[in-house]
Amino acid sequence: MSLMYSALLPRNGNPWIQAPSIPAYDFGTGDFTLVAMVATTQGGPVLYRMANDSAEPNAGFMLLVTSTGIITFVTSDGTGGQGATTVNATNVLDGGCHTLAAIRRGTSLQLVLDGTPLECQVASDGTPPFDVTVDLPLIIGGQHVQWGEAGTFDGTLMNVGVWNRALEPDELTAVGFGRIDTADPSLCGAWTLDQTDEDSSTYGNTAMLNGSATYTPCIACEWTTGANGYAYCTMTNAPVPARPSGARLVEVRTIDVEPGTPGLAMAIMATPVLPAFPVGTIVRVIDPVGNRYDRDVNQENLFVATHDGQPWAMMVVDPQPGTWTVEIDASEQTWFSLQLQTIPSQDIVETIDGALAPLYGPGGPAEAEGWLDLFAHAAVAALAGAAVVSLVLFSGGTLAPAVVAGLAAFTSISLAESALALEQLDHHDLDAAYDDVAGGAGFLIAADPVVLIDANVPVDVATREGYRRRKEVLYPTVTMSPFNRRRTDLVGREVTRKNVQSALLSSSTGYISACGHGLPKYLTGWYVTGTDGPLQEILTVGKYDPREVRGKIIHFLACWCGSKEPSSLGRDMVANGALAFFGYKNPFILAKDFADVFFDCDIAIDKALLAGRSCQEAYDEAYAKYSEEIETLFPINRPAAVSLRKNRDSLVAPTTNEAYGNPSAHLVRGIATGPQRTATRRDDAPEALPL
């Protein structure tokens, strides 16, 4: 697919593009198809091969858009004729790009706009089909003699094609976007009008430009619809450095969301492989009731990630039925690709595959070349991600937050990985498919919170030094991790019961990593009052709301909380819905000159989880690091080495006992997932601080 430029055909310049008459256009009484992509507000003749030197049309065919949005397709043998006219005015004059097709199949005429057959009034003067053969040139955007309507098309045209057969609906979808098989023997002419009048069909019938037509850049758009409420569109720009211009490109696309559609996803990327936002681009997403999505939102049914007030990626669960609009305003020199799509209400994989196959074909965009096709890769990948997520969303009656789907919609993975994910989906291996999508991504952005808690009591070596090291090693990792977007830090005097409760209730999923003093029944934070005296309990068995821990992976760098007794805090939190708990069943021991070694071993758990590892893997990595450090320390300091070994053997996790949760739980999508996931949320809970 090449860079799309379209022929600009202003009315006052009276231009048209004329392909010399060749026998290939002599369809006689046979089937044929005319296709063009148009963008106009005034209409005019689109394709014309019809003598018109009197008040009545002569032999030939013509396709016309009237100034009221009516579309007309006429065939005639000079003595009689057949015409199909849309019953109602269409939206073809809205200035956006539309694919228009006119098909004669046997005795019937059909008009199709954007893949949708139009209701037409068909009238005949005589018995169809009529012989349309006539020795006249084929005129694009003009007519031989003006009659009744404008003499030239007022707007832009591209991807014009003519076939001597009736194309099938799937074929119309592809050819409308210039995906034309130029070796197709039924193809009689194909003009991309991509700064060229050349005919890419085997006939090579180069057209000639007449009048003052110019070429203008435009955003390449592709869209299609499928069964089960599936709708898809993409808007892409791939500038050519050799043709710099300061022009702004503006495009408006809409998709219709049917009632019952479970999800709607949108994402825009600056490159096909890295989902950076295309700086300087203005994006507007407007729902059927006029709402705009220009603020970060992370709720159960809506996820919006913005960049400088522009929607960057969004996922809507149960979107408002009706017409959703995306407007884009970008520099001609800005690369971008925007995808907007719904999630089918059922048979997700089959539906998406069926709808996109006409666009991308069985070989997919991998068989083509160029940036636009790379963007197409990303589009398909995003869809695969959305499909995976949607299955997760709607499988087993478990509702996951919209952010999950937003993540996948924002995921750029290769076609092969998409295909693998889809294949696994077809085998109903949801976890594997999801992991493929997430794991194959070069980038993921999540909005699920990570809560870091450090008691950092100044007079206490353990929590003070623990915070110092975590601040050096862990906090930057969390900031850089692609697996979280919101981080809440509670440090020192902020570590109160009230603050901890608020932070934990602000999300139904996520990761909590805390460093404080612990006993089997509770974890402590800052002082109860002032800067002296007892430390306050921030999480105590029997005194916390189960929603604080439900659906989360929890890691406490604290003594005793992982005690083996059944009612210890770690086990109690898992029993109350936490996905997993990491902690220590005994008091941990710091060898003072080697404290950082211990902290680093413990932080290995955080790092592994934040890198998307499962709890099993996080435990294994931490255990391996412990063992390696013990081996290193042993010749240097036996007491330090044996202390570290004691800590290692005191570590509890889902791996060591199922009472500590699910070993396969992980944060790959930036959220905690697992069988105990729930989706409750307190709307009155404060939002965590954005990074």
Partner 1 sequence: MRAEMLSQQQSLPVGVDRTSREPISLEQALAAPERLAPIAEMTLAERSAMVRARWAAGEWTDLDVCGESVDADRAVRELEARTPLGMLLLELGEGAVEMVLEDAR
Kindly write down the DSSP assignment for every residue of 282-345, as one continuous string: EEEEE-TT--B--S-EE-SSEEEEEETTEEEEEEEESPPSEEEEEEEEEETT--EEEEEEEEPS
Cα 105–Cα 110–Cα 114 angle in degrees, nearest 5: 125
Q: What six digits make up the tokens of 528?
A: 């109860």
Q: What six digits make up the tokens of 514?
A: 């805390």
Neighbours of 292 (CB within 10 A): 12
The residue among 238 and 595 lying less far from partner 1, judged by its C-beta, is: 595
Binding site for partner 1 (CB under 8 A): 460-463, 517, 559-560, 587-595, 634-643, 645-646
The residue among 385 and 518 lying less far from partner 1, judged by its C-beta, is: 518
The residue among 277 and 588 lying less far from partner 1, judged by its C-beta, is: 588
> Distance between CA atoms of 253 and 91, rounded to whole angstroms?
12
Work out how close the CB of 594 gets to partner 1 at its nearest, in angstroms, rounded to a whole number: 7
The residue among 339 and 647 lying less far from partner 1, judged by its C-beta, is: 647
Work out how close the CB of 528 gets to partner 1 at its nearest, in angstroms, rounded to a whole number: 16
Work out how close the CB of 460 gets to partner 1 at its nearest, in angstroms, rounded to a whole number: 5
Q: Residues near 534 by Cβ (< 8 Å), separated by ≥ 6?
A: 527, 528
Work out how close the CB of 527 gets to partner 1 at its nearest, in angstroms, rounded to a whole number: 13
Identify the CA nearest to 614 among candidates 438, 404, 441: 438
Residue 687 DSSP code: P
The residue among 132 and 569 lying less far from partner 1, judged by its C-beta, is: 569
The residue among 232 and 599 lying less far from partner 1, judged by its C-beta, is: 599
Work out how close the CB of 525 gets to partner 1 at its nearest, in angstroms, rounded to a whole number: 13
Q: What six digits make up the tokens of 223?
A: 């869209």
Work out how close the CB of 597 gets to partner 1 at its nearest, in angstroms, rounded to a whole number: 12
Q: Are 667 and 609 in contact (CB under 8 A)?
A: yes
The residue among 427 and 592 lying less far from partner 1, judged by its C-beta, is: 592
Work out how close the CB of 590 gets to partner 1 at its nearest, in angstroms, rounded to a whole number: 4
Work out how close the CB of 463 gets to partner 1 at its nearest, in angstroms, rounded to a whole number: 8
Q: Which three-class secondary structure state does DSSP give residue 165?
A: coil
Neighbours of 568 (CB within 10 A): 25
> Distance between CA atoms of 517 and 561, rounded to whole angstroms?
9
The residue among 357 and 591 lying less far from partner 1, judged by its C-beta, is: 591
The residue among 80 and 587 lying less far from partner 1, judged by its C-beta, is: 587
The residue among 86 and 643 lying less far from partner 1, judged by its C-beta, is: 643
The residue among 29 and 637 lying less far from partner 1, judged by its C-beta, is: 637
Question: What is the number of alpha carbons within 13 Å of residue 194 lying toward its C-beta?
Answer: 14
Work out how close the CB of 589 gets to partner 1 at its nearest, in angstroms, rounded to a whole number: 5
> Distance between CA atoms of 230 and 386, rounded to whole angstroms?
12
Q: What six digits make up the tokens of 70?
A: 């009516």
Q: What six digits make up the tokens of 170?
A: 């799937």
Q: Residues near 253 by Cβ (< 8 Å), separated by ≥ 6?
A: 96, 221, 223, 233, 235, 325, 326, 340
Neighbours of 691 (CB within 10 A): 10
Beta bridge partners of residue 63, listed in sequence order: 47, 73
Q: How far is CA 274 from the centre of its chain?
A: 13
> Distance between CA atoms of 238 and 22, rounded to whole angstroms?
35
Q: Are 599 and 471 in contact (CB under 8 A)?
A: no
Q: How far is CA 401 from the centre of its chain?
A: 16
Q: Residues near 80 by Cβ (< 8 Å), separated by ≥ 6?
A: 124, 125, 126, 127, 130
The residue among 359 and 462 lying less far from partner 1, judged by its C-beta, is: 462
Q: What six digits make up the tokens of 377?
A: 């890769």
Work out how close the CB of 462 gets to partner 1 at its nearest, in angstroms, rounded to a whole number: 5
Work out how close the CB of 659 gets to partner 1 at its nearest, in angstroms, rounded to a whole number: 22
Q: What six digits make up the tokens of 556?
A: 């406490």
Work out how close the CB of 630 gets to partner 1 at its nearest, in angstroms, rounded to a whole number: 8
> Distance between CA atoms of 350 and 14, rounded to whole angstroms?
47
Work out how close the CB of 319 gets to partner 1 at its nearest, in angstroms, rounded to a whole number: 53
The residue among 24 and 640 lying less far from partner 1, judged by its C-beta, is: 640
Work out how close the CB of 524 gets to partner 1 at its nearest, in angstroms, rounded to a whole number: 10
The number of residues in the chain equals: 691
The residue among 227 and 461 lying less far from partner 1, judged by its C-beta, is: 461
